[in-house]
Each structure stands twice: as C-alpha cells, then as structure tokens.
Amino acid sequence: DIQMTQSPSSLSASVGDRVTITCQASQDINNCLNWYQQKPGKAPKLLIYDASNLETGVPSRFSGSGSGTDFIFTISSLQPEDTATYYCQQYDNLPLTFGGGTKVEIK
C-alpha cells in the first residue's frame, strides 16, 4: 500500500498568513493526488485534483503543486472560513489512501 505522510498534523496561523501543508507518498504516484477540505461535522470537499488543478468554484487562494512523491498544498492568504482539516489522497494505486490530515486553526 502507498503511505501518505502529511505534515504538520496541525497548525495555527493568523488571518492573511500563507499556509503550507506537505504530503509525501511512500512511492512515486506521478501527479495522482487530490486535496480535500473537511470542516467540523461536514463531509470532505474536493479542492485540488491531479496535484495542481483547482476544482470549480474553489477560491483561488488555494493551490497545489508537486509530482512524484512530494506535494504541497498552499493557502495564499488564510481566511477565517478556512478553519478545517485538510487531507491529501492518492489514486495512483489501489488501495486509495489518504494522508493523516492537517488541522488548520486561526490564531
């Protein structure tokens, strides 16, 4: 199975800050990586697919990059409504696997 390691597991930042989350795959997954946002009590929401493509309707302050084994998710200017847990997910191989999540809070 492909292991997805996310870091940090949690972070606290101020409104307007640039926030970066990393996701490392245990083997090359090409660009077969998605990022999801999950707010408390809600279902996950697809934000980024194929490592860097912004899902329709998602604000442009969210972005993704990377390929191979190392990926980055960025919020360019953190907003209060971005409080959530963010997960990466690979689909290069079955089983589909998720990272452990990064909880983002506002300082």
Partner 1 sequence: EVQLVESGGGLVQPGRSLRLSCAASGFTFDDYAMHWVRQTPGKGLEWVSSISWNSGRTAYADSVKGRFAISRDNVINSLYLQMSSLRAEDTAFYYCAKDRRAENYCYMDVWGRGTTVTVSS
Residue ranges that bind partner 1, judged by CB under 8 A: 32, 34, 36, 38, 43-46, 49, 55, 87, 89, 91, 94-101
Q: Which amino acid is at 76?
A: S
Shortest reach from residue 53's CB to partner 1, in Å: 9
| In the complex, minimum distance from the CB of residue 42 to partner 1, in angstroms, rounded to a whole number | 8
d(CA 90, CA 39): 20
Shortest separation between residue 87's beta carbon and partner 1, angstroms: 6
Token duo for residue 53: 């493509």
The whole-angstrom separation of Cα 88 and Cα 101 is 7
